[in-house]
Amino acid sequence: MQAPLLEIFSSVQGEGPLVGCRQLFIRLAGCNLNCSYCDTPITVGEKGCRVEIATGSSKFEYLPWPLNINDAITYIHKNFNLNNHHSVCITGGEPLIHHQLLSKMLPMLAGTKKGIFLETNGTLPEELHQVIDHIDFISMDIKLPSAANIKPCWGLHRKFLQMALTKSLYIYVKVVLSDKTTHEELNEVYQLLQEEAPGVTLVMQPVTPFNGVNSPGVKKLMLWQAQALQHLDDVRIIPQTHRTMGIL
Ligand code: SF4
């Protein structure tokens, strides 16, 4: 089976409650959305899958495409000590569009301290169902139409949360906030979480400015967090930290 892998690298988680945890990142190509602030590479370069040769070096070698899943897993086990990592972070793009591949690949990535961590846009509940038994942590986005400039995904996010909560795993929800974020859509988020997942941590992440999308000011962030805390127990403001550290 071919594996549409874009990047493999060892780094620290830069977002959310698990910020700072050492992870082996595996980035898959492709996404079902098209967010305006997306700065993630989601199509393969002509050189193939890039791998950072030494952590933090920004020096890469390339595994030429097409990449066979068994070859990729062999490479990972040979070049990275999974036991030194908190978890394997499966990211994208949107990794769940490759659920058949993930069903095969994830069981071959045993050996970290805590398991498999999935970063997802939270819009593919049926695909999550196919792989949920292999996953230990979920970082789920709730996409706000104002910041992402896409159609609302409320129904899909609701189904996704319902599916995720059928298993005992660690899940948190992240919303990326911009200066265009509205009170109305934040209220939708609070209502959704109150109804489906009242105990889940909500991370408010100010957008890292990109492509004309700007971060809200500190005043707005503090106000929104205070409002969110009237509905939810655990609401945290956490910006992207890997950007400030200058790491992958
Ligand atoms: S869901 Fe993520 S990867 Fe996909 S377009 Fe939006 S920001 Fe980019």
Task: Give the Å distance between the CA of 163 and the centre of ligand 1.
Answer: 21
pTM of the model as a whole: 0.95
Q: Is 35 in the pocket of ligand 1 (CB under 6 A)?
A: yes
Report which DSSP code applies to 168. Answer: -
What pLDDT shows up at residue 42? 76
Tell me the C-alpha distance between 173 and 49, whole Å. Answer: 29
Considering only CA atoms, which of 113, 139, 197 is closest in space to residue 17? 139
**In 3-state terms, what secondary structure has residue 62?**
strand
Taking the centre of ligand 1 as the mean of its atom positions, its distance from the CA of residue 174, in whole angstroms, is 13
Please state, for a pLDDT cut of 70, what percent of the chain lies above it. Answer: 100
Q: From the alpha carbon of 150, which atom of ligand 1 is closest?
A: 6
Does ligand 1 lie within 6 Å of residue 34's CB atom? yes
In angstroms, rounded to a whole number, what is the distance separating the alpha carbons of residues 225 and 101? 38
pLDDT tens, residue by residue, 127-160:
999 999 999 999 999 999 987 889 999 999 999 9
Helices 183-196, 154-164: inter-axial angle, 10-degree rounding: 30
Asked whether residue 213 carries a pLDDT value surpassing 80, the answer given is: no
| Cα–Cα distances in angstroms (integers) from residue 137 to residues 11, 89, 167, 174, 244, in the given order | 17, 9, 11, 13, 24
Contact criterion met (CB below 8 Å) for 2 and 28: no
Residue 241 CB-density burial (10 A; 0-12 exposed, 13-18 middle, 19+ buried): middle
pLDDT at residue 41 in the model: 76
User: Does the structural domain 5-245 have CATH classification 3.30.390.30?
Assistant: no
- Determine what percent of the chain is predicted with pLDDT higher than 90: 80
pLDDT digits (tens, 9 = 90+) for 84-112: 999 999 999 999 999 999 999 999 999 99
Q: Is the dihedral of CA 120, 118, 169, 101 positive or negative?
A: positive
Question: Is the predicted pLDDT of residue 244 greater than 90, yes or no?
Answer: no
Q: By CB neighbour count within 10 A (0-12 exposed, 13-18 middle, 19+ buried), where does 218 fall? A: exposed
38 lines ligand 1 (CB under 6 A): yes
- Atom 6 in ligand 1: residue holding the nearest Cα: 35
CB count within 10 Å of CB 40 equals: 15
